Structure 1
């Protein structure tokens, strides 16, 4: 009997995938969130192959190729809370690189199965670090993996400028789809898509206002870091890709508000997503309502499917106090980022780099 053929040790490149990247539709959203509003535009990145972060993943690997940091067939190792992992799995298949992803014990079972199905190897850490939480624990494991694999490449999504460069195509798509834009609402995690969008959009519309959306419990904009239910939004560390001078204001959104918003979207206009989508939709609706006549746009980073056991699970939401009655209807305003530790939707019109303030 002939022995079964072994899978190739090297991931073969499939460049035919690359034309599937981007070119996502722009939807008009007018569902009350929770109040009526004139409507805003949402870029539906869930309908692009690999999701929103496939754009940055391909850009980071191509940039590393160009600089000679990533060689043909070399392994790519990265930390992820899920969304970038899907993007890197796409980029690894398209460009011919095995991918090892470092996640953590809070990574949803469905996204674990998906990442493995896409051919990525998944390493999970089981305890958050005392300082820096899950992100710091993932990065510590990532460095161990790199030490054991000479020639492996770490994109370092938090500090890699190619992360932002990957969103130039999205900016060009928005410019092609919109005659005018007054307000851009961006979720902030690694800082990549906000940094990549704002500069080209401001060259087109110099007076563009930019609102950052962070998670309650995130350290990015100067609030104290603490454990967070929301995944893919916020950070316990300070990514250097966050371009603080680009933001006119920041909103922190809590999980109850994000869940309420995401569920209202699902029921009211069929288009929805997870924590980040709920959070940016809430703030975009607020901007459209409070700035008469303004053209407002945002990006829905992913769809609802990985959140069926959290955002869209009634038992989960009850267990974590995420009922609609606990969702703020409007933001409180604080004068500067560390004036008070916020526990729900809050707004601040003073944006600073917390590391520079400390210095």
Structure 2
């Protein structure tokens, strides 16, 4: 049996405990990684049943610090990004923070192309950290805000010779950046039976799953998406939630890796975020709430002893005026929406349009593409 180290149930380690001395960082990039894991049970699962949450919000900017640093570092190594050249990328927020950290680390000016859905606090933070935020004002007629942002990135690249776009949606380095996270989970938990991840660009679900399967070949992966997202075959529509879901079909999504997918609605994610905060003093944004809902269901319904790891991509602070703001949530109609005990089920991803928490055990690429690339890009600046 694999025995996990557990801290004192009633508080921090005593002064006599031999806890490791925290590392001293000389550069902010050295603060990325080695994030903690927290046990989550009630109200998502009864005592003795629960899941382990990987708290990626403990990185300086969130989970996408990892690919931000890795994609830029690899582009420099291959000569795709020359010293001092601009970096231009589309982001709803978290990757923007990661790329800004990479720009500071490697000496590149960073432009983040976003849209009006980016929280004003994130715009101010990115600006304070040295990035330039360029916001599109009109969504693309079929690809929504994401496609509008990508088109604007292409315009900016054409006007800035030598500029580089990491292309988080299709760059294999995005997924490769999460191999260290998988190694951390193995060191922290040993055997992992189930991984629960939000899906947006597809990078962290693909990279973590690939890394974990080298140690746990029978791993089951539950993908968590937003209603009105096109990733898994539902029709695209306006989405309130940021950080998961997409109006396009990112090439980095590894459809073959998933055992099932859960779609979650905004009110259900708000309920989960707030319960996490009240009970566990650890929460985050839309992705965190949606992942907790699906991971709690897995903990309740799978055999006792199933070891479930859930990835919490960020913390709560950028959501204080949305997810954690009663007035805003009331205005959006997402306050006081308690999710059902069990999700609805559909037999196929395109069986019908889902409007609330729903699961499907048939996962396929809606575009019928061959399996995604697993080797890094070797040439080409978008």
Q: 1:100 aligns with which of 85, 91, 111?
A: 111
- The residue number in structure 2 matching 1:18 is 29
Q: Secondary structure at the residue paired with 1:279? A: helix
CA–CA distance in 2 between the matches of 1:61 and 1:88? 8
Q: Distance in 1 between matches of 2:146 and 2:136?
A: 10
What is the match of residue 184 of structure 2?
A: 173
User: Per-residue displacement from partner, 1:35-83 (whole Å, max 9, x unpaired)?
Assistant: 7771110111111123110101111111111221101111100000001
Pairs within 5 Å for 1:232-251: 232-251=243-262
Query: Who is 1:116 aligned against?
Result: 127
- Per-residue CA distance 1:139-179 (angstroms, 9 max, x = gap): 11111111110000000000000000110110110010012
- Residues 251-275 of structure 1, C-alpha deviation per residue, up to 9 Å, x if partnerless? 0011011000000001111100010
Task: Kindly state the Cα deviation for residue 319 of structure 1 after the two structures are TM-superposed.
Answer: 1.6
What is the DSSP-based 3-state SS (H/G/I as helix, E as strand, rest coil) of the residue aligned with 1:250? strand
Please point out which of 195, 209, 212 is paired with 1:201. Answer: 212
Aligned to 2:308: 296
Question: Does residue 340 in structure 1 map to residue 363 in structure 2?
Answer: no
Looking at structure 2, the residues matched to 174 and 331 of structure 1 have their Cα atoms a distance apart, in angstroms, of 27
Q: How does 1:116-195 map to 2 (within 5 A)?
A: 116-195=127-206
Looking at structure 2, the residues matched to 93 and 254 of structure 1 have their Cα atoms a distance apart, in angstroms, of 36
What does residue range 318-337 of structure 1 map to in structure 2 within 5 Å? 318-325=330-337, 327-337=339-349
Q: Does residue 60 of structure 1 match 2:41?
A: no
Q: 1: CA distance between counterparts of 2:126 and 2:62?
A: 13
Aligned counterpart, 1:314: 326
1:205-237 deviation per Cα after TM superposition (whole angstroms, max 9, x unaligned): 111110000000000000000000000110000
Aligned partners of 2:268 and 2:337 also within 8 Å: no
Counterparts of 1:232 and 1:290, CA distance in 2:
27
| Counterpart check, 1:261 vs 2:272 | yes
- Tell whether the 8 Å contact from 2:40 to 2:280 is kept in structure 1 after alignment: yes
Q: TM-score, normalised by structure 2?
A: 0.88
Contact 1:37 1:288 in 2 (8 A): no
SS at match of 2:242: coil
CA contact (8 A) 2:349 2:363 kept: yes
Shift of 1:296: 0.5
Residues 92, 98 of structure 1: 8 Å contact kept: yes
In structure 2, C-alpha distance between the alignment counterparts of 1:193 and 1:326, rounded to whole Å: 28
Runs of 4+ deviating beyond 6 Å:
34-37
Residues 44 and 50 of structure 2 are in contact (CA less than 8 Å); yes or no, is this contact kept in structure 1? Answer: no
Instruction: Pick which of 239-248 and 22-31 moved more.
Output: 22-31
Runs (5+) with no aligned partner, structure 1:
1-13
The gaps in structure 2 that reach 5 residues or longer are 1-24, 370-382
Q: Which structure 2 residues correspond to residues 12-51 of structure 1 after superposition, within 5 A?
A: 16-33=27-44, 38-51=49-62
Find the counterpart in structure 1 of residue 365 from structure 2. 353
SS at match of 1:213: strand
**Counterpart pick for 1:213 among 207, 211, 224:** 224
Question: What is the alpha-carbon root mean square deviation over aligned residues?
Answer: 1.6
